[in-house]
């Protein structure tokens, strides 16, 4: 990712080249080929600047027209979403008219021209890049905030077996778990896989593990499912003695403190997100790495979606692709797609289930631009990735 916006970077590049050229010309006017010298001499000519201003005016007019059209479209998307939510509260049927049936407008106008005289306009300020913590940060925070080191599995299959046991007992199926794992991790991810991290690359987000939990997910699950996590840990501790029991008692005490901290704010995503952006939230997120707690957090990330659907009257078992829609977009938005009849799925654009920024950053939703197509490509990726070694190992863990 560039440190500077693209246009600003180009302006800096043009300015740098101009300065280098001026120095070179001053030192040796004959050193440059005639064609290059002529190009540099004409780069900031009055004619070039006039042409730039004409093109800039055309560009700004085109962008303004597009933004008006796009703004109206996304306002309508929000309006229809509010209408559907109101209908659901009143238990009224949702029809095709409750969705926007056209796709978002796409900008097809001219590109922003490059200013031949960068000194004419100030360089755009560098936007600070938000730091995304990595696994080492989560582990460091756990030690500093809670004096705790997560118990890592001796081998990946140990984590998978713990996940399979707990998830099956909770009522999830092998098909759901293996296929969602296959989609989220590419079919070969470990319990400590972080989104975007490949061979030292920067993370795309704080999402970690089989179902790619964010820091906010971990805080929210500790707040909402803390009683269940503690019950399961206490049941396990009852069968332990010696050093193992002592270590488990310490883990239980840490989880109890984390639960209390997570519950110290209102049970709202925005409040949990604020904690997730702190060292304390990073420490809570380290629990996804623990061989006892991590499988439970990964399970409840999916189980809460199943429970949500049932509470809304949707009793049919969720397919893995449907469960993934709820996992990806949130329970309310995902259920909107899940409860949609097939005839509507074929016609309703995926843009109905996104905010504008999220949609424009999601090439899959743009390419596969109806609910039916999005579910189909999700299923196809699950099919393909389920043949990977990691997915096969998870399947055998059952």
369 near 350, Cβ under 8 Å?
yes
Q: What angle do CA 63, 355, 266 make, to 5 degrees?
A: 140
| DSSP secondary structure letter of residue 207 | -
Tokens at residue 16, please?
Answer: 């740098």
Domain layout of the chain by residue ranges:
6-120, 135-396
> And the tokens for 357?
């920024």
Cβ atoms 109, 63 nearer than 8 A: yes
Question: How deeply is 230 buried, as exposed, middle or buried, from its count of CB atoms within 10 A (0-12, 13-18, 19+)?
Answer: middle
Cα four-point dihedral sign 281, 273, 369, 306? positive
SS3 per-residue string spanning 118-157: HHHCCCCCCCCCCCCCCHHHHHHHHHHHHCCCCCCCCCHH
Dist. CA 339–CA 319, nearest whole Å? 12
Phi, psi of 370 (to 5 degrees): -130, 160
pTM, entire model: 0.78
Q: What is the dihedral of CA 9, 14, 15, 18, to 10 degrees?
A: 160
114, with CB counted inside 10 A (0-12, 13-18, 19+), is middle
pLDDT, position 127: 73
**Listed residue (301, 331, 323, 315) closest to 176, CA to CA:** 323
Question: Shortest CA distance to 100 belongs to which of 363, 380, 359?
Answer: 359
Query: Which tokens in the block code for residue 290?
Result: 């623990």
Alpha helices in the chain (DSSP H): 6-27, 34-42, 46-89, 135-146, 156-170, 174-185, 215-237, 242-262, 269-276, 279-285, 293-311, 320-329, 331-338, 342-345, 356-360, 363-367, 371-385, 389-396
User: Can you list the pairs that 145-150 forms with residues at least 24 positions away whose Cβ atoms lie under 8 Å?
Assistant: 145/279, 145/280, 145/283, 146/254, 146/257, 146/258, 146/283, 147/254, 148/250, 148/251, 148/254, 148/283, 148/286, 150/286, 150/287, 150/289, 150/290, 150/291, 150/293, 150/294
Q: At what angle do helices 156-170 and 389-396 cross, to 10 degrees?
A: 50
46 three-state secondary structure:
helix
Per DSSP, the residues of 161-204 read HHHHHHHHHHT--HHHHHHHHHHHHTT---TT-BTT-STTPPPS
Place of tokens 């920067």: 202
**How many C-alpha atoms does 42 have within 13 Å on its Cβ side?**
9
Token pair belonging to 172 = 């999830």
Report CA-CA distances (Å) from 367 to 54, 326, 334: 34, 20, 19
The total number of residues written for the chain in this structure: 398
Place of tokens 């500077």: 4
42 in the Ramachandran plot: left (φ > 0), alpha (ψ -120 to 50) or beta?
alpha
The CA distance from 181 to 391, in Å, is 7
Per-residue pLDDT of the chain (398 residues), as tens digits, is 333 333 333 333 333 333 333 443 334 434 445 454 444 445 578 888 899 999 999 999 999 999 999 999 999 999 999 999 899 888 898 999 999 999 999 999 999 999 888 776 655 566 778 899 999 999 999 999 999 999 999 999 999 999 999 999 999 999 999 999 999 999 999 999 999 888 778 898 999 999 999 999 999 999 999 999 999 999 999 999 999 999 999 999 999 999 999 999 999 999 999 999 999 999 999 999 999 999 999 999 999 999 999 988 888 899 999 999 888 888 888 888 988 889 999 999 999 998 898 899 889 899 999 999 999 999 999 999 999 999 999 999 98
Nearest to 11 by CA among 112, 126, 114: 114
Cα 374 to Cα 320: distance, rounded to the nearest angstrom: 13
Which token pair is 236?
């396990």
């Amino acid at each position: 990712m560039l440190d500077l916006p693209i246009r600003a970077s180009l302006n800096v590049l043009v300015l740098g080249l101009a300065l280098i050229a001026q120095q070179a010309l001053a030192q040796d006017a004959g050193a440059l080929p005639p064609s290059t010298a002529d190009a540099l001499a004409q780069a900031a000519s009055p004619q070039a600047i006039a042409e730039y201003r004409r093109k800039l005016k055309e560009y700004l007019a085109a962008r303004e027209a597009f933004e008006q059209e796009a703004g109206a479209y996304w306002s309508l998307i929000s309006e229809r979403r509010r209408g559907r939510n109101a209908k659901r509260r009143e238990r009224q049927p949702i029809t095709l008219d409750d969705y926007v049936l056209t796709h978002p407008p796409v900008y097809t106008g001219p590109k922003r021209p490059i200013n031949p005289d960068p000194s004419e306009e100030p360089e755009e300020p560098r936007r600070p890049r938000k730091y995304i913590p990595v696994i080492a940060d989560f582990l460091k925070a756990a030690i500093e905030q809670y004096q705790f080191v997560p118990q890592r599995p001796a081998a990946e299959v140990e984590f998978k077996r713990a996940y399979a046991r707990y998830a099956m007992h909770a009522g999830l199926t092998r098909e759901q778990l293996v296929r969602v794992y296959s989609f989220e991790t590419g079919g070969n991810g470990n319990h400590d896989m972080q989104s975007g991290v490949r061979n030292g690359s920067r993370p795309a987000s704080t999402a970690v593990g089989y179902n790619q939990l964010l820091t906010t997910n971990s805080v929210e699950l500790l707040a909402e499912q803390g009683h269940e996590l503690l019950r399961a840990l206490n049941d396990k501790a009852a069968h332990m003695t010696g050093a193992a029991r002592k270590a488990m008692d310490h883990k239980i005490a840490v989880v109890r403190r984390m639960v209390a901290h997570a519950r110290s704010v209102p049970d709202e995503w925005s409040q949990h997100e604020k904690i997730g952006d702190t060292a304390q939230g990073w420490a809570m997120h380290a629990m996804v790495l623990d061989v006892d707690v991590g499988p439970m957090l990964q399970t409840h990330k999916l189980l809460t979606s199943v429970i949500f659907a049932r509470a809304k009257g949707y009793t049919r078992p969720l397919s893995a692709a449907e469960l993934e829609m709820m996992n990806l977009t949130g329970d309310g938005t995902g259920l909107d797609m899940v409860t949609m009849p097939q005839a509507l799925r074929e016609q309703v654009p995926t843009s109905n289930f996104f905010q504008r920024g999220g949609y424009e950053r999601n090439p899959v939703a743009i390419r596969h631009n109806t609910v039916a197509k999005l579910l189909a490509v999700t299923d196809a990726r699950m099919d393909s990735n389920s043949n990977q070694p990691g997915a096969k190992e998870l399947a055998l863990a059952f």
